[in-house]
Amino acid sequence: MAGKELPQFEHILLERDEAIVWVSINRPDRLNAISRQMFADINEAFEFLADDEARVVVLRGAGPCFSAGFDVSRDSPSVDDDPQIIDDFVRLRAQINKVLAIWDFPKPVIAAVHGYCLGATTQLVSCADLTIIADDAVVGWPALPLGGAYISPFWVALVGVKRAKQMSFEPDSRISGVTASEWGWANYSVPADELMATVRAHALRIAKVPAEVLMMKKMALNRVADLNGFRNTVLLGAETNALLHAIPAVTDVRATVAEHGLKGAIKKFKAGE
């Protein structure tokens, strides 16, 4: 399948492979840390691919991992900013809607997860239709309480409320790819050196189904999940996160990040300082 020319982005790489398009988060020097602009670029890439000839899209990370999470050092508001809850809520809701664009995408999306998949990038994977993960992958939560209930609603539908609470309540919580599969966050796990070949094999099998059939199957299944509350539940995270961004306990953590850097702030938090 030749297909039309794929767009180029600074930190997102699109590659055509028969009936598949691989969308790679491509910032390996920063462990694929995702900025707001990268979220926008991913959204733009999926908007383009909605009308592309490809039958299946695979989302993955280039280099050593899927993504180490949101780029707090680049995009976190300054400690001197006066928190504007309404403005923050609007921004966060728009960001969640960008993630939900993967959920609403009219073609199957497979997430191929290796290395780290942390923080807000777990939202992207949660919205994929299939997730295949490396056994030794590390999936987890941010190490600092910079907000709240923004990520965990995406997990409830996949792993249940108790496991979502376990991950949400414990800072820097981590599970392996094997555990992520056992919990139902991923379809299953495979040895890391078999991950991409396994994903490709699934994608090619799915691509044999007519595009219209795949679209209607996905629409029907997503409607059931949305009737069960998935969409409304995850959108609630914008409200809770915006409110928490304005409380002293969180602004104090942000001040520590500004003064000591992210790694220094994590070290002080773990030490109870």
Residue 98 clears pLDDT 70, i.e. is over it: yes
- If one counts the domains in the chain, the total is 1
* pLDDT tens figures, 112-144: 999 999 999 999 999 999 999 999 999 999 999
Give 19's pLDDT tier (boundaries 50, 70, 90): very high
**Closest Cα partner for 131 from 115, 112, 117?**
112
- Dist CA 186 CA 63 (whole Å): 21
What does pLDDT average to over the chain? Answer: 92
d(CA 151, CA 265) in angstroms, rounded, equals 21
Residue 92 is assigned to a structural domain of this protein: yes
Confidence of residue 27 (pLDDT cuts 50, 70, 90): very high
Percent of the chain beyond pLDDT 90?
79
Looking at residues 19-38, what average pLDDT do you find?
Answer: 94
Q: Output the 3-class SS for 85-154.
A: HHHHHHHHHHHHHHHHHHHHCCCCEEEEECCEEECCHHHHHHCCCEEEEECCCEEECCCCCCCCCCCHHH
Paired strand residues for 134: 190
Residue 232, domain member (yes or no): yes
pLDDT, residue 74, reads 57
Report the predicted TM-score, pTM, of the whole model to 2 decimal places: 0.93
For residue 33, the 8-state DSSP code is P
**Domain-located, residue 39:** yes
**pLDDT band at residue 32 under the 50/70/90 scheme:** very high
- Domain extent, residue 238, equals 12-270
User: Could you read off the pLDDT of 173-187 as tens digits, one per residue?
Assistant: 999 999 999 999 999
In a domain, 3, yes or no: no
For residue 7, being part of any structural domain is answered with no
Query: pLDDT tens-digit profile of 230-242?
Result: 999 999 999 999 9
Q: Evaluate whether residue 170 is within a structural domain.
A: yes
The CATH number of the domain holding residue 166 is 3.90.226.10
Query: Which amino acid is residue 87, in one-letter code?
Result: D
- Residue 1 lies inside a defined structural domain of this protein: no
9-13, 33-37, 61-65, 205-209: lowest mean pLDDT where? 33-37
Select the more confidently predicted residue: 81 or 105: 105
Is 199 part of a structural domain of the chain? yes
